[in-house]
Amino acid sequence: MSHCLESSPKDIRQAEMVIALAGNPNSGKTTIFNALTGLRQKIGNYPGVTVEKKTGRCALPDGRQVTIIDLPGTYSLISRSPDEQVAMEVLRGLRADTPAPDVVVAVVDASNLQRNLYLVSQLIELGRPMVVALNMVDVAERRGAPVSAGRSEERLGVPVVAVVGHRREGIAELKAAMGRARVAPMPEWGLPEAMAGEVERIAAEVRSGTAPSPSTLGEGGGEGLLDGRGGALTHPSPGVPGEGDQWSVVAERLLIGDEAGDLDRVLEVPGVWEAVAGARERLLASGVDPVQADIEAHYRWIDEVARGAEQRGSSTRGETGGVVRLEYAPVRTWSDRVDSVLIHRVWGLVIFAGIMASLFVALFWVAEPLMGGIEDGIAALGAVVSGWLPAGPVHDLVSDGIFAGVGAVVVFVPQIALLFLFLGVLEDSGYLARAAFLMDRLLRGVGLHGKSFIPLLSSFACAIPGIMATRTIEDRRDRLATIMVAPFMSCAARLPVYILLIGTFFATWGALGQAGMMLGLYGLGIVAAAVTACIFRKSMLKGQGSPFILELPGYKVPQVGQVLRTVWVNTREFLVRAGTIIFCFSVILWAMSYYPRLPEERTSAIAVAAEAHAQEVLDSFVAAHRDVRHTGWHWEMDSVYDDALLSYIAAEQLRYSISGRIGSAMEPVIRPLGYDWKMGVGLLSAFAAREVFVSTMGIVYSVGEADEQSSSLREAMQRDRYADGSPVWTTPVALSLLVWFVLAMQCMSTLVVVRRETGTWKWPVLMLVYMTGLAYVVALGVYQVGVRIG
């Protein structure tokens, strides 16, 4: 029943062979994928899930063009994570967005043969034409357990090619072998007798019922579950196993509780569900657990194959309770020696601290000048472009809306690129797993995972790279919990606000007191994160404490090309996917502070007031600088006067705009926290980025361009009085606002990235509501208590 590819109904395949690379995590699958496809890759996402979809093209020696899919790494076809689910669904042809593969290339780490063969044993049951790529044969040899491709081929009955992915050895042979791919003969698993009997009984039930024909079992990709049984693609394979085998496989999967989508239709067949339930009950009653029996049978077969595949007698036969095992002579590799230092109880922690410190320094300080340069560059470009336009709304849209919006997106690029550079090196080298191993105990206490550490640390620089870094966490609940608390880490954008408020209202505390205050704000964020992580894990993200089964792969030297590819792909994805939305929001926020314009009839009145204000500013300036007249003095006076005039009008315009009106309308709500409408406008504008609060304060206080160190802004804030003469800014107000900035979710870029990473608006909306709610309650408490105790 070998089928003709050209006659395939799906036009997506365009008569082209689709080859899927499947393998365990750390088996070197991606290295082989890169070696096969070079730069002819496309990287996107599987619709509906945040799992990376990597496809590429490659030419076989016979001239055929094939599509290669690099599946997410998986330990088993009975999936536990979204990544594994996708790999399973593609392999079974259950995804409408991805064609079922014509050939499966099983990538096997030869230095970790047994566990890698477990997936192979499941891939054999899949019944698709297969090739095995025996990767890292060099490592296996160094470990004293060399593996022979030739003998493995004899045992498995499918082409086996020895490969050293990072040196591109065996890649040409692998391409040639793809044309020879064939369906593996079904092994005798040697299930316990009782179980084998039940499997046959269920298979008979499925067959006799109005079961869907084997070739239509699979949905999605157009090809059926069993349709791939075409034998070798180039020439008919002798001894293609009959369909009987496939019904047995289906029955076995039903019995062990495989919940893959293709089985749903089988379970709907009358009588099947009852037959499975009855069989399971009978087996359990007689002391046979189908799941355990199945896995043990697979591993017994693996022991056979592995023993046959090894070249030398480094393995010894041992009989234990009738079970033949393989025992490795404990060869101490350099990887083991590295580990005895890198995860040593003292040195390990010291080195870990050093690596994390350099990551933090890179994100915090190295990225800083790059970000400044990008912002300035884009602003300068905006000034040039808008300079060609006449003054008016279009001019302002281009310079303050569009170019500032582009800047708001591109400004994140240095941090994201640096983060993925670090992550790429750490992951490729194998250190990322060690970092999780070292930190797990610390984070487990609050229901997080060892792998949550790097995302949270990165979030101190910026939550956006931090949230993107949670991709390394496999478990969905661990990942969501980490995402949800990451924005509590005080990011670099909060720093200007902290400096402005602490420097202005806690000046009497001295340097040490101010530093302590700053530390306290960081601490508050950490405490809030720990508490909310606990709450999330006990409510929405509750679960049988997600298991921590972490492989510690052998150390490898990271490959420059692979790391740079990761950096490029992730940065590009951020710009395209999240960047466009962030840009739109920036333009909307700009428009809200720009429109409506002040009406004609009010401009004259404002102009009079502005002139009076400007004259006042000029007078005080002249009084202050009486002694330092020099050439160009009148130029300076002119500019002081003009700045004061323009900033007064800008403040009036902002007050008249939608943002200003919302700020005023918000006043009753934020009044209990001690804020007036100006701060309300500031909080709204901070949605573009938290540090914008400072420049907005500069506008509403008519001091023109201001940063957190501007003494003119600080004085204006301290001078500000309500109508009754009481000061607007008091210590409780400043404290309350600081607490607000630590806790509130007011960064639309973060929300957009959370939407992007979680796939729904549910999580960002929840984040906005609970963080801002928490900020409101705590800031309210701080202000009210502060006012009462003075």
DSSP state of 312: S
Residue 198 beta carbon to other proteins: minimum distance, rounded to whole angstroms:
14
Of residues 352 and 498, the one with the C-beta less far from other proteins: 352
CB atoms within 10 A of CB 788: 8
Question: Which residue, 349 or 361, is less far from other proteins as judged by CB?
Answer: 349
| 436 contacts 450 by C-beta, under 8 angstroms | yes
CB of 278 to other proteins, least distance (A): 16
What distance in Å separates the CA atoms of residue 452 and residue 481, rounded to the nearest whole number? 9
**Closer to other proteins at the Cβ: 428 or 676?**
428
Tell the smallest beta-carbon distance from residue 456 to other proteins (Å). Answer: 17
Whole-angstrom distance, CA of residue 145 vs CA of residue 110 = 9
What HEC string does 422-449 produce?
HHHHHHHHCHHHHHHHHHHHHHHCCCCC
**Shortest distance, position 197 Cβ to other proteins, whole Å:** 17
Minimum CB–partner distance for residue 166 and other proteins (Å): 19
Q: Give the nearest distance from C-beta 364 to other proteins in angstroms.
A: 26
Work out how close the CB of 441 gets to other proteins at its nearest, in angstroms, rounded to a whole number.
4
Q: Nearest CA to 177 among 111, 223, 235, 132?
A: 132
Question: For the chain, how big is the Rg over CA atoms in Å?
Answer: 33
Nearest distance from C-beta of residue 295 to other proteins, angstroms: 4
- Closer residue to other proteins (CB): 321 or 790: 321
3-state secondary structure of 506: coil
Q: How far is residue 482's CA from residue 536's CA, in Å, rounded to a whole number? A: 10
Name which of 93 and 553 has its Cβ closer to other proteins: 553
Give CA–CA dist 46/95, Å, rounded. Answer: 9
Nearer to other proteins, 98 or 121 (CB): 121
Whether the Cβ atoms of residue 732 and residue 790 lie closer than 8 Å to each other: no
Measure the CA–CA gap between 245 and 229, rounded to whole angstroms. Answer: 11
Query: Is-contact 452 520, C-beta < 8 A?
Result: no
Closest to other proteins by CB, 44 vs 190, is 190
Dihedral, CA atoms, 9, 10, 11, 14, nearest 10 degrees? -90
What DSSP assignment string belongs to 66-114?
EEEEEPPP-S-SS--SHHHHHHHHHHTT--TTSPPPSEEEEEEEGGGHH
- 297: number of Cβ within 10 Å: 20
Tokens coding 224? 């059926």
- Residue placing its CB nearer to other proteins in the complex, 114 or 712: 114
Minimum CB–partner distance for residue 344 and other proteins (Å) = 8
Per the CB < 8 A criterion, the answer to whether 693 and 682 are in contact is yes
Q: Which is nearer to other proteins, 301 or 675 (CB)?
A: 301
Distance CA 297, CA 292 (A): 8
SS3 126: helix
Residue closer to other proteins by CB (options 57, 80) is 80
Considering the complex, what minimum distance in angstroms separates the CB of residue 352 from other proteins? 9
Binding site for other proteins (CB under 8 A): 75-76, 78, 80, 111-115, 118, 143, 145, 257, 284, 287-289, 291-292, 295-296, 299-300, 303, 320-321, 323, 325-328, 330, 343-346, 348-349, 437-438, 440-442, 444, 450, 544-545, 547-553
In 3D space, the residue among 751, 755, 743 whose CA is nearest the CA of residue 779 turns out to be: 743
Residue nearer to other proteins on the CB measure, 115 or 661: 115
Tokens encoding 474: 């496999």
Q: How far apart are CB 776 and other proteins at their closest, in Å?
A: 36
